[in-house]
């Protein structure tokens, strides 16, 4: 039986609590009361954040925010944040990806600001709110989200008499027709870690769950095998390009029509436009294909929060800025333009930057597709507490599977085994 998001996350809170005991007292006071003018330090790296802070400071007299740009999380930013928490000199706020937030919680690096945040819950997409909540605790404000859709080379599809597939069966049939028309043309390219996770997310094939106070790793479940076997079938039939995503060969394929689709998050629009100029005017966007006609589930890839780090002495002021950053229309419109963010706030889908036709996509108002997709993102998903290692182990297996060495299902099984071993190594309880 499926648990509700609230029950699921409540269980996760118990599991994460097991990892907090040794770290809960390592940072300074959270400062439950505030008076007078507050100063909040914020660490992040997204383009446009520095300008957003300037705009906030110019329009607020009660709170001053000091912004410090750090390396992107996986390139050193996250470790810098954790080190600062341990040293009791962390900033109040930091940019933290949804996939990383549970590991920060497990290491005792976050403060619960639910007493300030709960009144603003309805301002955000439900799936995004779930990404910053564990049990009754709220650890930050959702900033952006990554609802998925189908980017496809409409010119190529039209030339073959094809329309955008609405189901995964249709997607495979189109893959066969495209490759039959030219053996150098492929429906797609390999997907790794969080891009691949979006396929599992869509269909409810969870990677992590909880059992009482224990973590349960379910990457090798039957539901996940269904997704894995589908993509394995495309590999076995030679319908997937060998060009890795984000490699120059991938951009070339998108530009010259040899890679026909990208099933990905909204932010892929900027990636495709920036790296495949030759595809301008040829591409379009459609809803993510479904497993059965009439289904209405969407996966997610990416998204981040403005998280409140352990030891923040001005949590109320921290939440005031975090909420403002995610919901101020003028500021967020600039973040769309500069950073390609897609709002987690429900009231921002009609921003000017999200309602204009895009010449690259034939003048299509592509964000209309994602505005409809965002509320449909499957809420029944949670990230595990050691995602950096989980993703690295998974990528090792996926890379080989896409190349015909092993299978995607085996890659998931191996990643599960290594994740369980790592959880036990870190002293977390695991439900077998």
pLDDT value of residue 20: 41
Angle between helices 387-402 and 408-425 (to 10 degrees): 160
pTM summary value: 0.89
* CB-count burial class (<10 Å; 0-12, 13-18, 19+) for 288: buried
Residues 6+ apart with CB under 8 A from 87: none
Query: Closest by alpha carbon to 67, among 83, 86, 85, 47?
Result: 47
3-state SS class at 265: strand
pLDDT value of residue 5: 35
pLDDT value of residue 402: 97
pLDDT value of residue 34: 57
pLDDT value of residue 28: 35
b/e string for 185-196 if b means 16 or more Cβ within 10 A? bbbbbbbbbbbb
Query: Closest by alpha carbon to 23, among 90, 71, 69, 76?
Result: 90
The Cα–Cα gap between 428 and 354 comes to 43
Spell out the per-residue pLDDT of the chain, length 432, in tens.
333 333 333 344 444 444 443 333 333 333 334 557 999 999 999 999 999 999 999 999 999 999 999 999 989 999 999 999 999 999 999 999 999 999 999 899 999 999 999 999 999 999 999 999 988 999 999 999 999 999 999 999 999 999 999 999 999 999 999 999 999 999 999 999 999 999 999 999 999 987 888 999 999 999 999 999 999 999 999 999 999 999 999 999 999 999 999 999 999 999 999 999 999 999 999 999 999 999 999 999 999 999 999 999 999 999 999 999 999 999 999 999 999 899 999 999 999 999 999 999 999 999 999 999 999 998 889 899 999 999 999 999 999 999 999 999 999 999 999 999 999 999 999 987
pLDDT value of residue 189: 97
pLDDT value of residue 35: 58
């Amino acid at each position: 039986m499926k648990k509700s998001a609230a029950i699921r996350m409540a269980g996760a809170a118990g599991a994460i609590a097991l990892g907090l005991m040794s770290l809960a007292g390592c940072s300074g006071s959270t400062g439950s009361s505030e008076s007078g003018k507050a100063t909040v330090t914020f660490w992040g790296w997204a383009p446009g954040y520095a300008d957003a802070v300037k705009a906030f400071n110019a329009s607020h007299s009660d709170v001053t925010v000091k912004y410090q740009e750090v390396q992107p999380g996986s390139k050193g930013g996250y470790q810098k944040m954790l080190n600062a928490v341990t040293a009791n000199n962390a900033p109040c706020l930091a940019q933290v990806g949804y996939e990383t937030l549970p590991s920060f919680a497990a290491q005792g690096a976050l403060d619960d600001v639910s007493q300030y945040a709960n009144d603003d819950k309805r301002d955000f997409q439900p799936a995004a709110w779930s990404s910053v909540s564990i049990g009754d605790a709220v650890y930050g404000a959702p900033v952006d989200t990554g609802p998925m859709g189908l980017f496809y080379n409409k010119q190529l599809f039209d030339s073959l008499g094809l329309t955008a597939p609405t189901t995964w069966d249709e997607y495979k049939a189109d893959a066969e027709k495209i490759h039959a028309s030219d053996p150098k043309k492929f429906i797609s390219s390999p997907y790794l870690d969080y891009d691949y996770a979006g396929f599992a997310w869509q269909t409810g094939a969870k990677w992590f769950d909880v059992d009482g106070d224990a973590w349960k790793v379910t990457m090798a479940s039957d539901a996940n095998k269904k997704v894995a076997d589908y993509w394995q079938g495309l590999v076995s039939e030679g319908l997937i390009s060998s060009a890795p995503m984000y490699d120059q060969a991938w951009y070339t394929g998108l530009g010259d029509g040899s890679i026909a689709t990208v099933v990905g998050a909204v932010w892929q629009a900027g990636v495709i436009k920036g790296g495949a100029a030759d595809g301008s005017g040829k591409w379009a966007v459609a809803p993510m294909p479904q497993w059965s006609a009439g289904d209405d589930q969407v996966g997610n890839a990416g998204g981040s929060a403005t998280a409140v780090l352990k030891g923040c002495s001005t949590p109320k002021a921290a939440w005031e800025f975090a909420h403002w950053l995610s919901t101020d229309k003028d500021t967020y419109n600039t973040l769309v333009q500069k950073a390609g963010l897609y709002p987690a706030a429900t009231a921002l889908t009609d921003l000017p930057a999200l309602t204009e036709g895009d010449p690259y996509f034939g003048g299509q108002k592509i964000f209309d597709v994602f505005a409809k997709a965002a509320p449909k993102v499957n809420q029944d998903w949670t990230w595990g507490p050691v995602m950096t290692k989980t993703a690295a182990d998974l990528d090792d297996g996926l890379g080989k599977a896409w190349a015909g060495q092993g299978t995607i299902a085996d890659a998931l099984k191996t990643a599960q085994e290594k994740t369980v071993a790592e959880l036990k190594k870190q002293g977390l309880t695991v439900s077998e």
